[in-house]
Structure formats: C-alpha cells, structure tokens
Amino acid sequence: MEHTESAVRAACRAWLAANWDPNRGLIEWRNILIDSGWGAPAWPKRWYGLDLPVGLVPVVEEEMARIGAVGVAKAGIRVLASATILAHGSDLQKEKFLRRSMTGEDTWCQLFSEPGSGSDVAGAVTRAEMRGNHWVVNGQKVWTTSAHKADWGLLLARTDWDQRKHKGLSYFILDMKQPGVTVQPLRQMNGHASFNQVFITDALVPPEMLVANVGDGWEVTTTTLMHERRGADGLRSWAQASPRPERIYQEERAEIATVMEPYKWYPQRAGRVDLLMPRAIETGAIDDPVIRQDLAKLLTMAKSAEWTARRARAAQEQGRPQGPEGSLGKLAASHIARAAARLHTAISGANALLTGPDSPHTGTIAEILVSVPATSIAGGTDEIQRNIIAERVLKMPREPSIDSDRPFRDVPRNTVR
C-alpha cells in the first residue's frame, strides 16, 4: 500500500468491506482489527500497526466512521499507557499490554502525584526496593482517576535515595488487583468522586514490569505527561455511544458507560463554550451589549485556540515530533474555561446558583461553576505550563535549582509548612 490518501482510503475501505460485521462481539472484532493493523495504523508493523504517517490516520478514521465501524478502545489512561509502553517498554511488555489495552480488556490508571508532590512530580517519595526477586513498593498516590476500576497502574517510584532527585526514579507497571493496593475515592468540590487516593503497602512488582532501566523513571514519565497535555488541547472528542441495535454496539454502549463514568463532568470542567450562545438566546441576554462583547471575546479566544491546536497537529502530521507545544493548548483551555464560567454566571444570573432537576439545564450551569477550577490544576497547573513554555519552547534559563544537585536523601521534604 502506497502512503497516499487515495491508496490508504481504498485499502481501508476494501478491508472493512470484507471484515466489518456489527454482529460480532466487541472483543472479537477488536482482535481482528488489531491483527489487520487498521486499529492503530500509525504504529509500527511489528506492533499491530501499518507504519502509516500520522497525517493519514484521519483518513482511516473517516473510513471507519463512514460505515459505523467500532474502533479500538481509546478512552481513559490506556492511550497514555500504550504510548508510553510503545516508546519505552520491553517486547514482553508490548506483548502483554498493547493488545489488551486496545481491546478494552485491561484498564489503566496513572500513579504519579503524591500528597507531597503535586507540581513537583519528580519529588516522589513512594519507594520501590528490590527484595528477593521482586520490587516491593510502599507509599501513597493521589488524584488517581479510575484507580478503583484499573487493572494496571503506571507507577513512578524512588529506587535510589543516594542519586540526585531526577536520577533516583524508576517507572513500573503495577498490578492494581493485589492485597498491597488499597483505593479510596476522594470527593471533589463539585460533589463528584472521580479521583482516588491509592495506599500502597508492600505491593509487589516482578522485575520484568520495570519500564526502561532503573533510574530512567523521569524520562519515561515525561513521555506520559507530554501525551497527557497534548490531549488537553480541546480537540479530543468524547466517546459517543452509537444507538444502533446490533450486538457490537450494545457491548460498546456498556463499555462507554463504565469507562466514561469518572469523566462525565469533564465537559463542564472545560466551561461548556457550546452552551453559551444557546443560553444567551434563551435568556434574552443576547441583547445586552456587554454580554455580546464578552461572548465575542470568548469566541475569539476559543476559536483561535482550536485553530492553533489544528495548526500544531498539521505541523505534527508533516513529521515534526510531539513537543511541549501541548502546553500552549492546555494554558489556552484554562483561560477559556475560566472566562466561560464567568460568562455563564452573567448570562444565567441568579439562576446559575441553582442545582438539581428544576434548575437551568438540570444543574449543568451550576456544575460548570464548581468544575472549572480543576482545569488550571489537573494535568499540570497553569504555572507549570508557563514554566514549560518558557524553558522548553522559548529556551529561557531554568530556575536556579536547590534540590537537584545533591543526593535526594539530603533534600528537604515537600510538605505544607
């Protein structure tokens, strides 16, 4: 197959015509899709892909959408897990995890943040020690979305306290379904509980579940975080369940309902820019000249951010690697969410204060107001994004460091003083 749009389109269409059958089971179909390479066409041929340039992936997506073919599982942390394992994992790890992540059989969570290391992720003090022929892990993680459902966790832990801060970390794949792992939900200010605290007490990790080498933990974590920030550019479409009757759609609907549960307030977190115009028209606020100006300002920012993300994606599709530009989109998304929440307040007035079924849009407006503050914190605060933009994109000098020039055991502990 030539790497041209027409050749890829024709090949994909022909393969789907011969293989797509909505009466198959979801896992059965996804295994067929994965074996063909059309499930992850930009991945290497050796690992379930077709070595397709990233720029041609939308062609495959269009062909699948055209006939309603179900794709591989993509919701949740699994995408970050797959990208990280593909980049840094061993062949054994790729064999064990990539396929089951794409079929949806395995679900994942990310165990990076700790009570004492939020922005300073590299300050992690969860420890992993080699005892006998296993790594033994002890510590506490937090802000862990879907930890209660996850089969596997992407774990950042300290393996060497005599090394400098960033050098003493290692990256593991932790089996979440073991006695040493306890998950407790964490209730948020908007009433939802999609995050968890994870207590790890003498949990075991076999040596082959170390990703890359001992001491490479920070480098591998950076890969995961870059993919996470890239996903915050506002272009991600939320998994939509098809209402069609065949077996595969029934199974997909059930999967989406489960997987998307923790994310159901995420559209509100982003500010619901889509609801502003209808609400302004519905309430009559659209005739207020101040509201009109503010709405136009917000649309200017939101549309410009979308076009910026598309420019970045177009550049990437032309072969430039994923870089820290993702931080620009994430920072823009914070500004947009905050401005949208303020404008929703102005448009809905006192009604914005009401929750529950009789309130505007059954509580959605109020939920926006109490969900937006998460946007500028989760996945790296606005302040950290600005540091990343300044240091990595603009090449400005790093802050003088007082904690990375000595053995980590001599560094003052992160805490609240």
Partner 1 sequence: MKFSFSAEQDEFRGNLRRLLAERMPTKEVRRLMETATGWEREGWRQLDIALGLSAIAIPEEHGGYGFGFAELCIVLEEFGRALVPAPFLATALAARAILHGGSEADRASLLPAIAAGDTIATLASAEDAGTWAAAATSLTATQSGDGFRLDGHKSFVIDGAAADLILVLARAPGSTGEDGLSLFAADATAPGLTRTNLPVMDPTRRLARLTFTAVPARLLGTAGEAAAPYRRTMMEAAAALANEMVGGAERLREDALAYAMMRMQFGRTIASFQSMKHKQADMLLEVELAKSAAYYAAAAIDEGDEDAEAVASLAKAGAADAYLQTAIHAIQIHGGIGFTWDNDTHLWFKRAKSSEVLFGDGQHHREIMMRNWAA
Choices 114-122, 191-199, 367-375, 380-388; region in contact with partner 1 by CB under 8 A: 380-388
- The rounded distance, in Å, linking the Cα atoms of 304 and 326 is 15
Binding mask 291-320 for partner 1 (x = CB under 8 A): -xx-xxx-xxx-xxx-xx-xx-xxx--x--
Query: Pick from 383, 401, 405, 406: which binds partner 1 (CB under 8 A)?
Result: 383
User: Does 328 sit near partner 1 (CB under 8 A)?
Assistant: yes
Nearer to partner 1, 201 or 304 (CB): 304
User: Does 346 sit near partner 1 (CB under 8 A)?
Assistant: no
Reported as type and span, the H/E element at residue 329 is: helix 326-348
User: Does 387 sit near partner 1 (CB under 8 A)?
Assistant: yes
User: Does 65 sit near partner 1 (CB under 8 A)?
Assistant: no
Q: Which of residues 236-295 bind partner 1 (CB under 8 A)?
A: 277, 280-281, 286, 292-293, 295
User: Does 61 sit near partner 1 (CB under 8 A)?
Assistant: no
Classify each residue of 383-398 as buried b or exposed e, where b means 16 or more C-beta atoms within 10 Å of its C-beta.
ebbebbbeeeeeeeee
User: Does 213 sit near partner 1 (CB under 8 A)?
Assistant: no
HEC letters along 20-60: CCCCCCHHHHHHHHHHHCCCCCCCCHHHCCCCCCHHHHHHH
Q: Which of 170, 176, 121, 123 is nearest to 151 (CA)?
A: 176
Task: Show Cβ contacts of residue 153 under 8 Å, excluding neighbours closer than 6 positions.
Answer: 108, 109, 110, 111, 141, 144, 147, 173, 174, 176, 181, 198
Nearer to partner 1, 122 or 128 (CB): 122
Cα-based angle 192, 194, 200 (whole degrees, multiple of 5): 135
User: Does 57 sit near partner 1 (CB under 8 A)?
Assistant: no
Tell me which residue has tokens 């005599």: 162
Answer yes or no: are the C-beta atoms of 122 and 166 closer than 8 Å: yes
Query: Pick from 31, 101, 364, 385: which binds partner 1 (CB under 8 A)?
Result: 385
Nearer to partner 1, 120 or 219 (CB): 120
User: Does 331 sit near partner 1 (CB under 8 A)?
Assistant: yes
Q: How many helices (H) and strands (E) does the chain have?
A: 13, 8
Smallest separation, CB 375 to partner 1 (Å): 15
Instruction: Give the torsion sign (CA, 287, 291, 292, 293).
Output: positive
Smallest separation, CB 359 to partner 1 (Å): 24
- Binding stretches for partner 1 (CB under 8 A): 277, 280-281, 286, 292-293, 295-297, 299-301, 303-305, 307-308, 310-311, 313-315, 318, 328, 331-332, 383, 385-387, 389-391, 393-394, 396-400
